[in-house]
Amino acid sequence: MKKIIIFSLALLSLTACSDEDTNANIAPVETISEGGLFGNAENPINVGGPNQQNQVYVNLSEAAALPVARESWDLGFYSGNDFRVVINGSLLMAVKQLETSDITVRQNADPSVAVGTFQVENLEYVDNPDGSLSGTAFGTIATSEEAAKVYLVNMGNEVPDTAPAAGSVNTAGDPRGWKKVKIWHEGETYKMQYGDIDVAEYTEVEIAKTPGYNHTFFSFTTGGVVNAEPEAAKWDMNFTTFTNEVFDGSGASAGAYFYSDFIVTNTKAGVTAFMVEGNSAAYETFTMETLNAGNYTFSSDQRAIGANWRNVIPLQLYDDVFFVLKDGAGNVYKIKFISMLNTDGERGFPLFQYKLL
């Protein structure tokens, strides 16, 4: 048995406009932020404290920040020219391709399909941490129902609400269970079948791309499309928990691991960044002339800021580094982090300064 539902985020977000609006075709005057502070009362970054229940999208040029509950979505269907599907790494999700193409076949949970097993093989079950679409765990999306394989989906962990000791985090709660999923595309439309792993029944949905956005997001909890990210041109940095690659003491990969206090850059919309080794004085004197005269390379790895601004063992903010970010419109900012704790010593309260170069 199956249910068929059609979703389009564009239909959910249409707004009416009048033909009599004489200003409809006049572009608004845009004021680019010269800089300031983020994480204070005026410009809060509502990560949510040590449970870090939100992903916060920061737009430097508009001095704006949008918090989104990280448990609000599960899959992101890419809206660009390619057909790719990302998983919610902020919840420790992982997926594995199965041999079958039959969604009605019952499946069993597989404990190896998980984050934090310290096995290098688990990297194939998560999206490439650098953010490249060529490295998504769902791989190349099939062009027909017959060719599409079923994937076993570890839904990761719930967002807990129990506060940890000061200086610690509690970001991974109880397991969220498992799903089986099958995805293909017909023309410009994604199609997906999904269900619980221990039953034959499934639901089939159609998901349209959303122009102007990186992805169209889908939630298994609500059974539909959700708004979980600003327009692609409206954010530069995302404060989030994150599934990254970790390395052992010898430098060898130990597979996928879960990070808190992480920052990704919006590389899908052309945002790039790099780290500079230098103290507060170096930050203050860094100008466009410094940038142009130096040997600096902007990185398209979404982890260019990543965890490079702080340490957790021991817990410390790095005061000898800062970052330079170029947004999709070409505006260049320098960024220096001031704190990762509130006055009570609790994590999940980042504070940074930034300035337009």
State the DSSP H helix or E strand holding residue 289, giving kind and residue range, or none if neither: helix 288-293
Give the pLDDT of residue 34. Answer: 82
Q: Name 291's Cβ contacts closer than 8 Å, sequence gap at least 6.
A: 324, 332, 357
Give the pLDDT of residue 31. Answer: 72
Quick check: 232 pLDDT over 60? yes
Q: Which residue matches tokens 């990761």?
A: 156
CA distance 300 to 288: 20
Type of residue at 34: E
- CB-based contact 125:95 (threshold 8 Å): yes
How many CB atoms lie under 10 A from the CB of residue 8?
A: 16
Q: Name 190's Cβ contacts closer than 8 Å, sequence gap at least 6.
A: 77, 83, 85, 141, 183, 184, 206, 207, 208, 209, 216
Quick check: 356 pLDDT over 60? yes
- CB-based contact 257:243 (threshold 8 Å): yes
SS3 120: helix
User: What confidence tier does 30 reach under pLDDT thresholds 50, 70, 90?
Assistant: low
State the DSSP H helix or E strand holding residue 285, giving kind and residue range, or none if neither: helix 280-285
Residues 276-329 have pLDDT tens digits of 999 999 999 999 999 999 999 999 999 999 999 999 989 999 999 999 999 999
Residues 237-287 have pLDDT tens digits of 999 999 999 999 899 999 999 999 999 999 999 999 999 999 999 999 999
The pTM of the whole model exceeds 0.85? yes
- CB-based contact 215:55 (threshold 8 Å): no
Phi, then psi, of 213 in degrees rounded to 5: -120, 150
Quick check: 2 pLDDT over 60? no
Residues 329-345 have pLDDT tens digits of 999 999 999 999 999 99
CA distance 160 to 170: 7
Nearest alpha carbon to residue 135 among 124, 121, 122: 124
User: What confidence tier does 33 reach under pLDDT thresholds 50, 70, 90?
Assistant: confident
Residues 179-204 have pLDDT tens digits of 999 999 999 999 999 999 999 999 99
Q: Could you tell me the residue ranges of all domains in the chain?
A: 2-8+70-232, 31-69+265-356
Per the DSSP assignment, residues forming a β-bridge with 347 are 341
| Per-chain mean pLDDT for the chain | 91
Phi, then psi, of 264 in degrees rounded to 5: -110, 150
